Amino acid sequence: MNSKARMKLKIKDKVLSVKFQLKHKMLSLKDAKRKQLAMDYITHIVVKSGSRVLFEFQPSMFVSKNPIFKFKVKQKELKLNDVLEITWTSYLGKTERFSKIIERVE
């Protein structure tokens, strides 16, 4: 995965389905000790469209490396060319963002 994240979006039958993957080592306490690195994992993930929160998750250090998530929300006001933005914060305090446009509505 070259990019820091990737995301697939699909609106079908008035439901938005999202699958996304974040690029992160998700180093747990044990892994960090073993690799002699600082413990670092994602502690908060939010997916938004404008001000509407679509997905919110607080992972622990026991979520897999380069974590993948799937979720579904009702379409409501979401339409073609709307932007979805993922924001994630790590244990070491680094915040990153990734956004994608809804390109297809079936």
Partner 1 sequence: MKRRSFIYLSALSTLSFSSFIYADENQSLDPWRAVTVDEVINAFYGKRKIIDGKGKIVLIAPKLASNSGAIPITIRSDIETKRILVLQDSTTFSLIGIFDVPKDALVDYMLKTKTEASALRIVILLESTNGKIYKIDKSIEVAMGGGCEG
Q: Are 98 and 3 in contact (CB under 8 A)?
A: yes
Give the CB-side neighbour count of residue 69, counting CA atoms within 13 A: 20
Question: Residue 35: helix, strand or coil by DSSP?
Answer: helix
For partner 1, the closer CB: 65 or 104: 65
Contacts (CB under 8 A) with partner 1, residues 12-51: 15, 19, 25-31
- Of 1-9, 62-70, 80-88, 92-100, the segment contacting partner 1 by CB under 8 A is 62-70
- Alpha carbon distance 9, 101 (integer Å): 8
Q: Residue 70, interface with partner 1 (CB under 8 A)?
A: yes
**Residues forming the site for partner 1 (CB under 8 A):** 15, 19, 25-31, 52-65, 67-74, 76
